[in-house]
Structure 1
Amino acid sequence: MRIIIAPAKKMVTDTDSFAVDGLPQFLEQTERLNAVLQGMSPKELQALWRCSDAIARLNVERLEQMDLRRNLTPAVMAYEGIQYRYMAPGVMAAAHLNYLREHLRILSGFYGLLRPFDGVTPYRLEMQAKLPVNGCLDLYQFWGDCLARQLASESDLVLNLASKEYSKAVEPHLPKAVRFITCVFGEQKDGKVIEKGTQCKMARGEMVRWLAEHNITDAADIQTFDRLDYQFQPSLSTEKHKVFLKADSQRRTS
């Protein structure tokens, strides 16, 4: 099984807590993206990033000083979003970190596909960014099917805990022989399942931690996840979508 998650916009440098295992698999493509970004003006970069002046200045400085091979942070420690705080890899036991090494993969507009302890440096580049590269109109075209092919070479089961922005860089390109299961974390309102961004990120991070703690490798075991008051809903689920609802939202609609 391979678990895919999205990155986070906010990143930090931490070269002390854990050593990196090596360099990212698609570093050659990352170097091409980096060259394109470094050739853009600060105004063009801010338009691409769609961010504030302060964030633009920070990331322009990062680009000017960027070294893709030295002073690197393990990917799973580099991102600081809600999902990563709930995953809390910094306080995981060694056995759980080894589970992440084998099973977890982080999707990235800049790095493509990251193993948890691949060394990275802070960057800003979302997968949906409209960045023309090598004749491609955007990053979805640039990465094409190579991320899906890499995942398919590793496992015949992909558990999708990524956002739609990132998962669509993989799902359309996977061979039919590879099962692709998406977990939905929501609340029930007026007979519909409603997903809320922050709650979803919390649940995805908590599920990654739970998967590691229980050494889950079988798709059938995923539905026993019950943290953050979520419960699996077999009547709302399919082979490709596993739905988990907040228990209090079920009580309100029952």
Structure 2
Amino acid sequence: MKTIILIPPSEGKAEGGHNEPLKAVSGITADLIEAIKEADPKKLYGLKEKALEKAITVNKEILSSRTMPAMERYTGVVYDAIEYKTLKNKSDFDQKVLIVSGLFGLVRPTDLIPNYRLKIDKLKAAKLWLNSNSEQLKDKFIIDLLPQAHKKTVKYDNGIEVEFVLKKAGKKMPAGHQGKHIKGRFVRWLIENNITDQKHFSDFTEEGYKWTGDVFLKEI
């Protein structure tokens, strides 16, 4: 059974691109682009002034702006921690990792995408993608590193949700923003060590996290 690692996109994205524009899209992506045009920008983006203007412009140019591979486009903490450029076995990463995008569904690391702005909880994107995404994950073993909002876009029969948890004074709490970096390191570790089974998770101990059998826990 093939192993698939699910990760979220990043809100931060590199601008520009060195590949041709998409020019045309179909299906759910096309429907969402039309919905973006009709939506109230302030409600859709939750931004003001220059940031709002920039988001509007970026989405107006989805089909005309130049593209780049997804692993170059996304620039958030998870992606910085993966350090994709220095991976020795990029082909393994490209085959196993899928990015859950609000606009494009399941995105491969090498897929060419434009700059865009759409959170997964807007325009019913999660609901729209659920059936399509889930169909693509059939007969796969899933290592799920998705935030709660993105988990609503997928269903799978075989897999494990991986959570990073902090414990302070006996109380447990989600790792939150700190968890983004360790998620990226974990993904890199999975790929570099060809890990496809949770029985090996206890070998991962970066940044003081230890696998309990249910979650990665760090006492602070």
Structure 1 and Structure 2 fold alike (TM over 0.5):
yes
Identity %: 25
Tell me by how many angstroms 1:179 deviates. 1.7
In structure 2, the partner of 1:244 is: 216
Of 76, 80, 84, 2:75 maps to 80
Could you report, residue by residue, the CA deviation over 1:137-192 in whole angstroms, capped at 9, with x for unpaired residues? Answer: x2232223211111115x1x11111101101211xx33xxx322111211113433
Asked if residue 169 in structure 1 is aligned to residue 153 in structure 2, the reply is: yes
User: Normalization by structure 2: what TM-score?
Assistant: 0.88
Following TM superposition, by how much is the alpha carbon of 1:226 offset from its aligned partner in structure 2, in angstroms? 1.2
Counterparts of 1:31-110 in structure 2, within 5 Å, are 31-40=30-39, 44-67=40-63, 71-93=66-88, 95=89, 97-110=90-103
CA shift, 1:63, in A, is 2.1
What is aligned with 1:152?
138
Given that 1:87 and 1:205 are in contact with CA atoms closer than 8 Å, whether structure 2 keeps it comes out as yes
Q: Does 1:222 align with 2:212?
A: no
Q: What CA deviation, in whole Å up to 9, does each residue of 1:54-100 have, x standing for no partner?
A: 221111111222227x721111221111111111112322x1x1111
Moved over 3 A (4+): 13-16
Structure 1: give runs of 5+ residues left out of the alignment: 132-137, 238-242, 250-254
Name the CA distance, whole Å, in 1 between partners of 2:185 and 2:9: 15
Q: Does the CA contact (< 8 Å) of 1:12 and 1:79 recur in 2?
A: yes
Structure 1 residues 2 and 62: CA distance shift in structure 2, 3 A: same
Shift of 1:27: 5.0
Partner of 1:11: 13
Q: How many residues align?
A: 215
Q: Distance in 2 between matches of 1:39 and 1:245?
A: 44
Maintained 8 Å contact 2:32/2:125:
no
Equivalence for 1:28: 27
Measure, in 1, the Cα distance between the counterparts of 2:14 and 2:42: 20
- The answer to whether 1:127 aligns with 2:126 is no
Question: Matches of 1:148 and 1:193 in 2, distance apart?
Answer: 31
Change (3 A) 1:3 1:187: same
User: Structure 1 residues 217 and 5, CA, compared in 2 at 3 Å: closer, same or farther?
Assistant: same
- The gaps in structure 2 that reach 5 residues or longer are none
Contact 2:58-2:117 within 8 A present in 1 as well:
no
Residues 223, 167 of structure 1: alpha-carbon distance in 2 compared, 3 angstrom cutoff: farther
Shift in alpha-carbon separation, 1:27–1:74, aligned structure 2, 3 A: farther
**3-state SS of 1:152 partner:** coil
Query: What TM-score do you get using the length of structure 1 for normalisation?
Result: 0.77
**CA–CA separation in structure 2 for the residues paired with 1:141 and 1:213:** 34
Q: Give the deviation of 1:229 after TM superposition.
A: 1.8
Give the AA of the match of 2:30. Answer: E
Amino acid at match of 2:146: A
Among candidates 142, 159, 164, match of residue 185 of structure 1: 164
Q: 2:176 aligned with 1:197, yes or no?
A: yes
Please list the CA deviations of residues 187-224 of structure 1 after superposition, one character each: whole Å capped at 9, or x if unmatched.
11343321131111011111011111112122322332
Q: Which amino acid aligns with 1:35?
A: E
